[in-house]
Amino acid sequence: FLRDASLHFAEELQRGSLESMDSEMAIEGILIVFFQHGIEQKLHNIRHSGEITVTSYSHTSQFNNSCVDMMQASGTAGNMRKVMQQLQKTQDVDRVTFIPAPLRDHGCC
């Protein structure tokens, strides 16, 4: 836990939060959306808007009519912020979170 926290803190210092990143900075990570049933088409339209690239998508329905979408997504920081703002303004979306992938200087792992 401490190792993960220190790595997250170091990355935050190195490139900043999503809100403070340069709009043209290329980023990737996991976009998580908690929402109520009935707005799947709206989320589908945002996902396929072309603002970001979604390379993997998972949908889970919880027991209390709440759903969770997880997307492995990439794009510019500006476009990711725009998509998150669209999602946050969508009625019946409860929470939107973006977890940026760790910075790597070579390789994937």
Q: How many residues does the chain have?
A: 109
- Decide if 2 is inside a domain: no
The per-residue pLDDT for range 64-84, each reduced to its tens digit, is 778 999 999 999 999 999 999
> Within a domain: residue 108?
no
Domain count, the chain: 1
Task: Pick out the chain residues at pLDDT < 50.
Answer: none
What's the token pair of residue 92? 């019946």
User: Residue 72 falls within a domain, yes or no?
Assistant: yes
| Domain presence at residue 13 | no
Distances from the Cα of 2 to the Cαs of 30, 32, 47, 59, 100, in angstroms?
21, 23, 34, 30, 18
Q: Is residue 66 part of a domain?
A: yes
Asked if residue 9 belongs to a domain, the reply is no
Q: Does residue 73 belong to any structural domain of this protein?
A: yes
In a domain, 93, yes or no: yes
Q: Which domain holds residue 68?
A: 18-100
- Tell me the CATH number at 54: 3.30.70.1150
Spatial CB neighbours of 85, under 8 Å, sequence gap ≥ 6: none
